[in-house]
Homo-oligomer: A and B are copies of this chain.
Amino acid sequence: MSKKKPLILVTNDDGITAPGIRALIEVMNSIGDVYVVAPDAPQSGMGHAITLNDTLYCDSITVAKKEPQIEYSCSGTPVDCVKIAVNEILKRKPDLCVSGINHGSNSSINVIYSGTMSAAVEAGTQGIPSIGFSLLDYSIDADFEASKKFVKKIVKECLKNKLPKGVVLNVNIPKLSAKEIKGIKVCRQADAHWEEKFDKRTNPVGRDYYWLSGEFVNEDKGQDTDEWALANGYVSVVPVQFDLTAHHAIKEINTWDI
C-alpha cells in the first residue's frame, strides 16, 4: 500500500485551460495519479459560491493528448468542481487536493474572495489534505518555472507529514526567479482589507452602472505576515482553518445582557 502512488485532485478558478493549472498538473504528474476537475471558464472572485438553482455539466475532455492525467471540464464554480469530483468522478477519496496555480495573489484577506482557496477549503471540509497555490502575477503569460519547484517541495512535505485536522494551506509565491526567492516562510494572514473605488458609467440607453475596482490596504506592520514575507522575497505559507469561530470573543459576548 505505501508504495502506491497518491491520488491527486487538481482544480483551479482561472479555468481548465489556464497556464497556471497546466504547470500544476505537470508537477503533480511527477508525484501521483492525477485527476483534473476544473471550471470550463474563469471563475475568479467566486469565493465559496455553489450552484444551487442551476444545472451542472461535467464532461470528460482531453486538453493535452500525450499526458497521463484524466480531465473533466465543469460548468460550475471551483467549489462545485471539488464536490462533483469527490462524489461523482473519483473512485475513492483523493490523498490530496491542489488548487491553482492562481494567476494573481491570494494572500491576506484575498483568501475569502478567492475561488482557488475556496476549492482548497471545500476539500478540507471533506477531510482531504489540501493546498491552494497562487503566483503574484496576473498575466496570462506568467512564468511558472520558479513556482513549480516550490509547489513540488511543499506538496511532498505535505504528503509526508500530513496536515493538522481542519487546516488547509494557502501558498503564495512572489514574482521572482527561483534564484531570487529567499525561501519559504510559514506566516499568519496579514490584517489588510480592500477599499473600493467604483467606476460609475452610463450605458447607451442612459442607465447608470458600475465597475467594481479597489485598492488593497495593508496597515499590518508585523513581520510574521504573508504580506511581509512576499514583499521580502519569500514564498508565504498560511495555515487556514474553516472553523470561523472567534473563540476569544465568546467570553466577552457572554457579558452582554441577552
Binding site for B on A (CB under 8 A): 42, 44-53, 55-58, 76-77, 79-80, 83-84, 86-88, 109, 111-113, 118, 121, 125-127, 153-154, 157-158, 161, 163-164, 166-167, 169-170, 184, 186-189, 191, 193-198, 200, 203, 207-212, 214, 237-250, 252-258
Copies, count: 2
**Residues in chain B near residue A258, CB distance under 8 A:** 153-154, 157, 184, 237
Contact A109 B242 (CB under 8 A): yes
> Residue on B with the closest CB to A198?
B88
| Docked-complex contact B45 and A197, CB < 8 angstroms | no
* A83, B45: Cα distance in complex, Å: 14
Q: Which residues of B contact A248 (CB under 8 A)?
A: 164
Knowing A50-B45, A196-B87, A209-B57, say if A186 contacts B253 (CB, 8 Å). Answer: yes
- Decide: A254 and B56 in contact? CB cutoff 8 A: no
Q: Name the contact of A252 in the complex, choosing from B50, B164, B197 (C-beta under 8 A).
A: B164
The answer to whether A47 touches B48 (Cβ under 8 A) is yes
B42 pairs with A53, CB closer than 8 A: yes
Q: Is the CB of A83 within 8 A of B209?
A: no
B45 touches A51 (CB 8 A): yes
User: Do B245 and A47 touch (CB < 8 A)?
Assistant: no
Docked complex Cα distance between A76 and B49 (Å): 13
Check A84 against B210 for contact (C-beta < 8 Å): yes
> How far in angstroms is the closest Cβ of chain B from A210?
4
Query: Would you give 5 A-B contacts (Cβ < 8 Å), ordered by A?
Result: A42-B53, A112-B121, A153-B258, A166-B246, A188-B243
The distance from the CB of A191 to the nearest CB of chain B, in whole angstroms, is: 7
**From B109, B246, B254, contact of A240 by CB (8 A):** B246
Are A189 and B243 within 8 A (Cβ)? yes
A195-B209 Cα distance, complex, nearest whole Å:
40
Cβ of B50 and Cβ of A254 under 8 Å apart?
no
CB distance from A3 to the nearest CB of B (A): 21
Q: Which 8 A-B pairs have the closest CB atoms?
A: A47-B48, A239-B249, A241-B246, A239-B246, A47-B47, A45-B52, A49-B49, A87-B196
Please tell me if the beta carbons of B246 and A86 are within 8 angstroms of each other in the complex: no
Instruction: Check A188 against B245 for contact (C-beta < 8 Å).
Output: yes
Is B45 in contact with A46, judged by CB distance below 8 angstroms? Answer: no
State which of B79, B127, B194, B238 has its C-beta within 8 Å of the C-beta of A245. Answer: B238
Question: Taking CB as reference atom, which chain B residue is nearest A157?
Answer: B256
B56 x A212 contact (CB < 8 A): yes
Q: Is the CB of A189 within 8 A of B245?
A: yes
